[in-house]
Amino acid sequence: MKRIETVVIGAGQCGLAMSACHLDAGREHIVLERGQVAHAWRDRWDSLTLLSPNWFTRLPNFAYSGDDPNGFIGRDEIVQFFADYASMLRAPVERGFDVARVYPADGSNRIIVQGADGTTFDADNVVVAIGGYHTSKVPPVSERLPHILLQVHSSHYRNPAQLPGAVLVVGAGASGQQIAEELLRSGRTVYISVGTHNKLPRRYRGHDAIWWMEQFGTFDATVGSLPSVKDAIRRPSVSLTGVGGGHDLDLRDLERQGMILLGHITGTEHSCLRLAPDLGASLAAGDKVYASFVESIDRHIEKNGLRVDPSDARLQGGDEGVRKDITTLDLAEAGISSIVWATGFRCQFDWIESPSIAPGCDPIHVRGVSTQPGLFFLGLRWLHTRRSNFIDGAGADAAYVRDRILRRAGQD
């Protein structure tokens, strides 16, 4: 058993930011990663890009430095960004270490970290820096569909060539719409089941949506300012894309190009799906989010006397004629051979034995400091601010946790 001051689990943005903060303070630590640096980013689809512009890609003492600050780097560039950061830091990353169990040591406040191969660390502190997106969420209806269908979660989607036949995409968040758009562009017949989504313009009045959110202080809103933390955490991420330099994701546009829009799935019988007649309501709700965002920008511009480009917002809504909802869909008759479940993730911390892990696996913490002495978390949605689960938010949260660790060691 190896005795050490701090074990950091995960070598993504949060784990590397945590390492940077420890290195700045000259504190002993190790970063354990089951694969390579940025393992989770390596395992995404081929055309993935960041949803935020390159200038928003910032970590402690390191930031995007290329010649396209307003562009959107892709998956391989993201991985290289983190690999370069780890090299620059000379971070003590132990690759290929699969953490199997974390549990309190008997008779002390120390914590044991055990690997799948039996290797153990005896630590003063453990920082779980793997975020909150661990296990694919797929609705139970998937188990009642014909076995002949190829079903993949968005986390296992790679490119259109992977999927046979016409494709049904379930979920209209950023991932669902991006994947559906890519499939349509490749010449596939695509159906998409649409639910709640947060529609925003990619750019408005000369600036990216992320730039405007920075101006509003949106990313610095704290969890304590929320009327309902659970509602905020469940709220879908904004529907944006950086593909092709970034453009609006517009379901009605995709419909005009041939995509078939559906309401959300309510059940199944053999190869037939039952669908709710709520497509129009879901589209209208997305339009409302878009319009509210645009109006808030216009008010901000007027209030502060900003000199920016004239309004270029597209009118939202206004379906031609009366929309007739599809309430049943025979998958075989429609030629659908593949389904992509873009239905999100859930966290999974059942490998951590701690009173700080609540039923349903959500850690009990305040700003990443758990109720168990020496156990900390990073990368969770709304860990402290809206920025917390973005690359840009990792540094501030890691610095706060570092300070709590130093205080615990009597160094502060």
For residues 178 and 255, state if they share a domain.
yes
User: Residue 198's pLDDT is what?
Assistant: 93
User: Residue 318's pLDDT is what?
Assistant: 58
For residues 160 and 302, state if they share a domain.
yes
321 pLDDT more than 60: no
Under the banding of pLDDT at 50, 70 and 90, the label for residue 59 is very high
For residues 156 and 119, state if they share a domain.
no
For residues 190 and 238, state if they share a domain.
yes
For residues 72 and 161, state if they share a domain.
no
**Could you report the per-residue pLDDT of 174-191, keeping only the tens digit for each?**
999 999 999 999 999 999
Q: How confident is the model over 326-338, as a mean pLDDT?
A: 96
290 pLDDT more than 60: yes
328 pLDDT more than 70: yes
Which span out of 146-150, 230-234, 323-327 was modeled with the highest average pLDDT? 146-150
**Which range of residues forms the domain containing residue 295?**
137-341
Q: How confident is the model over 280-305, as a mean pLDDT?
A: 94
User: Residue 227's pLDDT is what?
Assistant: 87
For residues 324 and 337, state if they share a domain.
yes
CATH number assigned to the domain comprising residue 20: 3.50.50.60
358 pLDDT more than 80: no
Under the banding of pLDDT at 50, 70 and 90, the label for residue 279 is very high
For residues 370 and 308, state if they share a domain.
no
322 pLDDT more than 60: no
Q: How confident is the model over 335-350, as a mean pLDDT?
A: 95
Q: Which of the listed residues 341, 365, 383 is the one where a domain comes to its end? A: 341
Under the banding of pLDDT at 50, 70 and 90, the label for residue 319 is low
User: Residue 323's pLDDT is what?
Assistant: 67
Q: How many domains does the chain have?
A: 2
Q: Which residues contact 197 (CB under 8 A, 6 or more apart)?
A: 172, 173, 177, 236, 239, 282, 285, 286
Under the banding of pLDDT at 50, 70 and 90, the label for residue 10 is very high
Q: How confident is the model over 55-70, as a mean pLDDT?
A: 97
**Could you report the per-residue pLDDT of 114-142, keeping only the tens digit for each?**
999 999 999 999 999 999 888 999 999 99
Mean of pLDDT over the chain: 94
Under the banding of pLDDT at 50, 70 and 90, the label for residue 412 is very low
For residues 229 and 256, state if they share a domain.
yes
For residues 199 and 126, state if they share a domain.
no
For residues 205 and 194, state if they share a domain.
yes
Q: Which of the listed residues 301, 323, 341 is the one where a domain comes to its end? A: 341
User: Residue 235's pLDDT is what?
Assistant: 83
Q: Which of the listed residues 341, 360, 388 is the one where a domain comes to its end? A: 341
284 pLDDT more than 90: yes
For residues 317 and 380, state if they share a domain.
no
For residues 75 and 208, state if they share a domain.
no
331 pLDDT more than 70: yes
